[in-house]
Amino acid sequence: MFSIIQAAGWPIWPLLACSIVALALIIERFSSLRTRKVAPPKLLAEAMIVSRSTVPPLDVVLKLEQNSILGEVLGSGLRALSANPRISEADLRTTLEGAGRQAAHKLERYLAALATIASAAPLLGLLGTVIGMIEIFGAQTGNGASAGGGNPAQLAQGISMALYNTAFGLMVAIPALIFWRYFRAQVDGYLLTMELAAERFARHLNVLRK
pLDDT bracket for residue 143 (50, 70, 90): very low
Helix ranges (DSSP H) in the chain: 2-8, 12-32, 35-38, 43-50, 58-67, 69-83, 89-107, 111-138, 152-209
The predicted structure's pLDDT at residue 7: 59
The predicted structure's pLDDT at residue 20: 95
Mean pLDDT of 44-61: 90
pLDDT bracket for residue 127 (50, 70, 90): confident
The full length of the chain comes to 210
The predicted structure's pLDDT at residue 147: 43
How many Cα neighbours within 13 Å face the side chain of 185?
A: 5
SS3 210: coil
| Number of Cβ within a 10 Å radius of residue 104 | 17
Q: How far is CA 14 from CA 17, 90, 117, in A?
A: 5, 50, 11
Of 143-157, 170-184, 191-205, the poorest mean pLDDT is in 143-157
**What are the boundaries of each domain within the chain?**
2-209
Distance of alpha carbon 159 from alpha carbon 144, whole angstroms:
19
Q: Pick from 153, 96, 114, 90: which is nearest to 32 by CA?
A: 114
Instruction: Determine contact, residues 33/104, Cβ cutoff 8 Å.
Output: no
Give the pTM.
0.83
pLDDT in tens, 69-125: 999 999 999 999 988 888 888 999 999 999 999 999 999 999 999 999 999 999 998
How many Cα neighbours within 13 Å face the side chain of 189?
A: 12
pLDDT in tens, 1-42: 566 665 556 778 889 999 999 999 999 999 999 999 999 999
